[in-house]
Amino acid sequence: MATKPTVSPNTGAFSLLFVLTLAVLGYTLYLIQTNQHLDVQASALTPSLLFLNPPFVKGLIVQGGFSGTLCAVLLHMFNALIYASAAFGAVYYTFHYLSEPRASAQQQPNSRKLANGENQAEINGSEVMIMLPKYKDHATGESMGGSVDKAPYAQVFYRITTRPMKLAEGVEPTVYQRLYLAIYSMLEAHKDVPASVGTHHADASLRDHSIAVSKKVVEHYRKAGKVEPLAAIAGLAHDLDKLLGYQKKGEAWVKNVNATHHNKYAAFIVSTQRAFNALPEDDRNTLVLALRYYHDPEDLPLGGTGRVDELITALRYSDGYSIKEEKTAGVQSAAALPENLEIIDKALITTISGLNINGYLANQGNAGGWTVPALEYVLIPMSTLLESVGKHLTPELTRQLQLDHETRTFNHPAADLIRERLIEMNLLMTTYKHLKTDTGMFDCRIGISRFSAILMLEKTKLDSLLPGMLEKWGKCAYGIRITSATVDKSKQSVNDVEPEEKKEA
């Protein structure tokens, strides 16, 4: 069982003082015994501007003997202590002065525009708080309290250069147009910043992506028959904090590890613009909440209005469609060069030759396709080709076709290009008996498992391109049945177990 310690801090101090006293007395006695005491006394009595020796101490030293020697020793110790303290203090304060960060004379609280066109704003403290005002419950009419959203940030301030826009003479923009122009001037000054550092947005720039989303948000409200003055602004600013989150290293863009996570900071950048303060209060609250929570609407604090929810929905819808268009444009750009098409064709043939058709490669797990000698076709899932063909393409083509990330989706932007190339090589069958596919894919049943979005490749043409491979593939151990043409390319594959129907040899 633990007990209270009996040794106090005072006891330790007393022990140290006692040992020090014995050391001084012992050293004094040693000087006398070795006849060095007169030398110590003489040095203590020698006049010097750098040595403190008060008159009353001199009188004690002159008396000589043990007491005089002791006083001389103590005087030497006192002077040594003074000079050691002075030296330590000088070193400490010099180091402290040199290592202390110097505050920039340009750093000013709140947002301001500098002479070189930069916008600068300092964050007070270590967090940004967004407070929802009090509101009334629509059902009861009762006044409800507000909410506070806290999001910590590592940055002390941000600085984004701008490229001010010139307006036609006589044009007076509205408060909404002024804020739009303030945001646009930042994006315009950084045209080279990508919309993503990976392939999420293909090759689209942040500026172009933001403009596209802005237009789609406006169109979304127009089709709904509604007017939202913040639509264009929210769309343009939804990814604005990527200007801080991305940085260029060499020829590549990478994420800035010292910046806040994307989608948490755009609301603050917009809220520090001068034009933002000119908006009505409800508009300010709506815009900040929509920008802050459109990536994670489930975290939206209670008390938000239906207007915030609608704006978040419009942003998410428009952002998704813009990304899809950007990826499609990236694939079309790659397919525009004949030399790229030749590389893709060779990669497809090489990929098919390495697939585990009928599971003939025992060490590669599941089968990569199916056929039997009596059939005129080989069945290969589109997802299998998407997952495998990138290994045989150049890194640039793999990136342009977005084949270096998740590909298990039937509406992948490269799927149509693969279908077109297989048709060009006379490999793809788009009709089978009474079935005809507009997507280039069929649904089938292998044994009792059903698969969707399957490519049907003509076996005779494959044999001419890959002589000897058909014999290696052998025969599928299960019955193969084509059930229908694939209609919805966005539908994920299913592996339902159903009662076995009549097999087709």
> What would the DSSP string read from start to end of 15-62?
HHHHHHHHHHHHHHHHHHHTT-HHHHHHHHHS--TTS---HHHHHHHH
Q: Do residues 503 and 479 make contact, with C-beta atoms less than 8 angstroms apart?
A: yes
Q: Quick one: pLDDT band at residue 495, thresholds 50, 70, 90?
A: very low
Whether pLDDT at 276 is above 60 = yes
Chain center to CA of 222: 33
Dist CA 462 CA 473 (whole Å): 12
Question: Which 3 state secondary structure label does DSSP give 323?
Answer: helix
The model's pTM is 0.56
Q: What is the mean pLDDT of residues 16-42?
A: 85
Q: Which amino acid appears at position 413 of this protein?
A: P
Q: What is the mean pLDDT of residues 405-434?
A: 84
Question: Which 3 state secondary structure label does DSSP give 67?
Answer: helix
Structure token pair of residue 417 = 């290009």
> What's the whole-number average pLDDT of the chain?
80
Position 123 scores a pLDDT of: 46
Position 263 scores a pLDDT of: 59
Q: Do residues 398 and 351 make contact, with C-beta atoms less than 8 angstroms apart?
A: no
In sequence order, the β-bridge partners of residue 480 are 446, 504
Backbone phi and psi for residue 305, each to the nearest 5 degrees, phi listed first: -90, 170
Query: Which tens digit of pLDDT belongs to each residue from 369-418?
Result: 999 999 999 999 998 999 899 899 988 888 888 786 655 555 788 888 99
Strands 449-458 and 442-446: antiparallel
Dist CA 216 CA 462 (whole Å): 45
Q: Do residues 138 and 130 make contact, with C-beta atoms less than 8 angstroms apart?
A: no
Position 27 scores a pLDDT of: 87
Comparison of pLDDT for 261 and 337, the residue scoring more: 337
| Residue 498 CB burial class (10 angstroms; 0-12, 13-18, ≥19) | exposed
Comparison of pLDDT for 484 and 4, the residue scoring more: 484
**Cβ contacts of 133 within 8 Å, gap of 6 or more:** 146, 281, 285
Dist CA 479 CA 432 (whole Å): 17
3-state helix, strand, coil in the chain (%, to 5): 45, 15, 40
Question: Which 3 state secondary structure label does DSSP give 375?
Answer: coil
Dist CA 250 CA 113 (whole Å): 30
